[in-house]
Amino acid sequence: MTEPKFLSVNVESVEPELGAPAPGRLISGDPKFRTWNVEERDGGLYAGIWEATPGKWRIEYDEWEFCHILSGVSVIAEEGGEARTVRAGDSFVLRPGFRGSWEVLEMTRKEYVIKL
């Protein structure tokens, strides 16, 4: 049977992965993550839904990531650059080499596509 070429981003049939910032990256709060990978391909391609509870942590990107905020409010600050507030409806790309912090002010949920 041929694999379908259309895939809905539907988390109802996917068990979420639970997580938190890596040790040593936490800045404040007690953020918890839930991630629903609906697509995972050889070569490092991932797509799905991610959400986080309030808190702040350091981020370092070696991958490329497209994000679309579905709900909540977060502040993403680039090291040596400006802080940007993102909320429902905002879309952006974080490129390899991005360093800074992610602060969730209100529980945030996003759609993502990651390419390693």
> What domains can you pick out in the chain, each with its CATH number?
15-115 (2.60.120.10)
* Inter-residue long-range contacts of 69-74, CB under 8 Å, 24+ positions, other chains counted: 69/108, 69/109, 69/110, 70/109, 70/110, 70/111, 71/107, 71/108, 71/109, 72/104, 72/105, 72/106, 72/107, 72/108, 72/109, 73/104, 73/105, 73/106, 73/108, 74/102, 74/103, 74/104, 74/105, 74/108
Model confidence pLDDT, tens digit, residues 43-86? 999 999 999 999 999 999 999 999 999 999 999 999 999 999 99
Global confidence as pTM: 0.93
Please check the confidence at residue 92 and state whether its pLDDT lies above 80. Answer: yes
Query: According to the model, what pLDDT value does residue 40 have?
Result: 93
pLDDT in tens, 30-52: 999 999 999 999 999 999 999 99
